[in-house]
Structure 1
Amino acid sequence: MTQAYVALENGQIIEARSRSPGRTRGELVFTTAYTGYEESLTDPSYEEQILTFSYPLIGNYGVREDRFESNRVHPRGVVARELTEDVAEWLRSEDVPAVDELDTRDLVTGIREQGAMRCGIAAGPDATAAEAEAELEACKGMSEHTDIGSQVSVEEQVTYNPDGVGPTVALLDCGAKGSIASSLVERDAVVEKLPYDATVADIDSVDPDILFISNGPGDPENFEAAAALVEEFVGEVPLAGICLGQQVIANALGGETQKMEFGHRGVNQPVRDLRSDRVVMTTQNHGYTVSEPGNLDVTQINVNDDTPEGLESDELDVITRQYHPEANPGPHDTLGFFDDVLAMVESPEAAEQ
């Protein structure tokens, strides 16, 4: 029984089944991940988007909170071929509209051919196609949220592993996945998570060994405070970044970024290291990419489209990755990135020599 409608920017109106009622709108994107739906749905990088799963069955191993990457679901809506009742119940508890029983293969093909597009969803017993179209029209009239960081960042400083004996990392929270802090803590680092709009004084108060810019949603040019911190501390404190963090750092150091046609979202993106010629599989979730690296060197590229996946500068003490080395979900081929980040801090033994 039709209980939902999805209105697309290309003029299509698709009938579906409502699994979580409501009205919503946003940019329609897709992920090719076939596991890790809990991690994907709680990834802050999906804020203000409608997430389509290309894999046909979502929810076949239940919902476990210990897999969450944040404290809530971030997409504004969810689309799937089939959602299990466990996932549908979870989304209803979060008031996130969700639909299934539609041809997601056709939907994903349309996004690949026409690019990510805006959409409107109306779901529930009284939903109408006109309501979905109204949501789409409202989405068309919206300008991109320039302060999206405020929706995904901590409001005040949070300390992880205060008794750690490793380097102190100032993690600028632009929408950080929880596993980034966990990966650093596992290596005995002290992690000071700071709001996305932290000031120079905030960073100085932490006195970090490393400034780390996290992943996050939206256009990197909207994170002006983060870019200002990069400009202030480059050459003084080692810099690291993941996903949005790579883009912010590149923009701040003379580079440029641009919106991609439909982005990279999945757990099987091949990345080649230009120095070793080794190819690894990576987890990715981004709609923007670095188009010009500025003062940084491109050290890794995407095998599919040659976009930069790694930027570095030995002179400036900078290392970034466009993909998610911490995965969750996905392969663990690149966990060594966190070792490389912490290795940028000179050991006390080396300093004495």
Structure 2
Amino acid sequence: MDAYVALEGERVIPARGRAPGRTRGELVFTTAYTGYEESLTDPSYEEQVLTFSYPLIGNYGVRDERFESERIHPRAVLARELTEDVAEWLTSEDVPAVDHIDTRDVVTNVREEGAMKCGIAVGPDVTPEDALDELAKCKGMSEHVDIGKQVSVSESVTYNAEGDGPEVALVDCGAKGSIVESLVDRDATVHRLPYDVTAEEVRELDADVLFISNGPGDPKNFEAAADLVDEFVGDLPLAGICLGQQVIAGALGGETEKMTFGHRGVNQPVKDLRTGQVVMTTQNHGYTVADPGDQLEVTQINVNDDTPEGLESDELEILTRQYHPEANPGPHDTLGFFDDVLAMAGDGSKKPALAD
């Protein structure tokens, strides 16, 4: 199959087609060298075109027990080389894919110019003009403001209903499955709620912790989640991961902004400002907290660019992380975050909080 990738500026890259189709989206990259199954099924990649910087993708096959959700979320995939297993998987889910391109050049372009729009055309008879036509469709388009609907559960789902630990109201803005697993492993009962759940519905659960999940795009698009923070701050412990940190900060008077090319990979160094300890983390986000406001303390920062990686408030019982402590794929240095979140439940838990 022929394949072409058209970048902003109308540069066209020829490639080998591995999964047919035509599409467009925001071009981003990940530096992860393992975990392609987890990355491809991470809802935070919804509506993006994912470039893998590691040369070979698919060398240990495809197993659905590693999936973070039920489907692939990027609109298309670029790689130096894709194995047959991954190419067949992408084809089965109608996700266009190309390889035999210089991904170093693509990544350098994104780092220098920032995340950019691109058009992709893959098939037996496609031309460079087909990719340029897809790119042209991006012009004048803004980010999907209701993107949460595409990645969230449509109705409440409860996990570990008979658990003896705290009850967690998890607002699903595009939650990775391993977040649920990490809480259930600690015997918490998890109520996974739609992204637009109302305060009244949350209140009916009488949960011990309100948890805002990760998700795709601009945190300002998740107004319902921000309204929940406004409603429950000071009354219920609040926790958040990735987009969840941004939503909580924005709801409490902070500011968020889009990054040049974001943090996406499994080797992002994070420093704890209280202990001085540096840990390696898994990340996938294109927005960050520019100003946490007056109510939240920055407790952790990214070593590379000083962006906030952890926000806390002892008084308001708030604990957030910009990275993914559940780390699938990636290091498990920060799994203790979930113990700390459940410990905030205090007397509301069904049994004493779990120890580290």
Partner of 1:142: 141
Matches within 5 A, 1:210-229: 210-229=209-228
Matches within 5 A, 1:61-210: 61-210=60-209
SS at 2:62's partner residue? coil
Whole-Å Cα distance in 1 between the matches of residues 311 and 9 of structure 2? Answer: 36
Note the alpha carbon deviations across 1:19-62, whole angstroms, 9 max, x for none.
00000100000000000000000000000000000000000000
Q: CA deviation at 1:346?
A: 1.0
Partner of 1:341: 341
Partner of 2:53: 54
Note the alpha carbon deviations across 1:171-223, whole angstroms, 9 max, x for none.
00000000000000000000000000000111011111000000000000000
Partner of 1:323: 323
Matches within 5 A, 1:3-82: 3-82=2-81
Whole-Å Cα distance in 1 between the matches of residues 169 and 137 of structure 2? Answer: 38
Partner of 1:273: 272
Whole-Å Cα distance in 2 between the matches of residues 350 and 8 of structure 1? Answer: 55
SS at 2:16's partner residue? strand
Report if the CA contact (8 A) 2:42-2:68 is conserved.
Answer: yes
SS at 1:247's partner residue? helix
Whole-Å Cα distance in 1 between the matches of residues 178 and 234 of structure 2? Answer: 27
2:245 is the counterpart of 1:246: yes
Q: CA deviation at 1:141?
A: 2.8
Whole-Å Cα distance in 1 between the matches of residues 171 and 218 of structure 2? Answer: 16
Whole-Å Cα distance in 2 between the matches of residues 21 and 169 of structure 1? Answer: 42
Q: Which amino acid aligns with 2:311?
A: L
SS at 1:212's partner residue? strand
Q: CA deviation at 1:94?
A: 0.2
Q: CA deviation at 1:10?
A: 2.8
Q: What is the TM-score of this pair, normalised by structure 1?
A: 0.98
Partner of 2:306: 306
Query: Which stretch has the larger CA shift, 122-131 or 61-70?
Result: 122-131
Q: CA deviation at 1:142?
A: 1.6
Report if the CA contact (8 A) 2:262-2:287 is conserved.
Answer: yes
Q: Which amino acid aligns with 1:232?
A: E
Q: CA RMSD in A?
A: 1.1
Whole-Å Cα distance in 1 between the matches of residues 268 and 321 of structure 2? Answer: 13
Whole-Å Cα distance in 1 between the matches of residues 313 and 225 of structure 2? Answer: 19
Q: Which amino acid aligns with 1:10?
A: G
Count of residues in Structure 1 that have an aligned counterpart in Structure 2: 350
SS at 1:70's partner residue? coil
Whole-Å Cα distance in 2 between the matches of residues 350 and 48 of structure 1? Answer: 42
Q: What is the TM-score of this pair, normalised by structure 2?
A: 0.97
Q: Which amino acid aligns with 2:100?
A: E
Q: Which amino acid aligns with 1:322?
A: Q
Q: Which amino acid aligns with 1:167?
A: P
Note the alpha carbon deviations across 1:111-143, whole angstroms, 9 max, x for none.
011101000000010111111001001012322
Whole-Å Cα distance in 1 between the matches of residues 256 and 352 of structure 2? Answer: 37
SS at 1:140's partner residue? coil
Whole-Å Cα distance in 1 between the matches of residues 125 and 308 of structure 2? Answer: 47
Report if the CA contact (8 A) 2:10-2:132 is conserved.
Answer: no
Whole-Å Cα distance in 2 between the matches of residues 140 and 321 of structure 1? Answer: 34
Note the alpha carbon deviations across 1:233-291, whole angstroms, 9 max, x for none.
00000000000000000000010000000000000000000000000000000000000
Whole-Å Cα distance in 2 between the matches of residues 10 and 161 of structure 1? Answer: 51
Runs of 4+ in 1 over 2 A off after TM superposition: 347-351
Whole-Å Cα distance in 1 between the matches of residues 335 and 35 of structure 2? Answer: 17
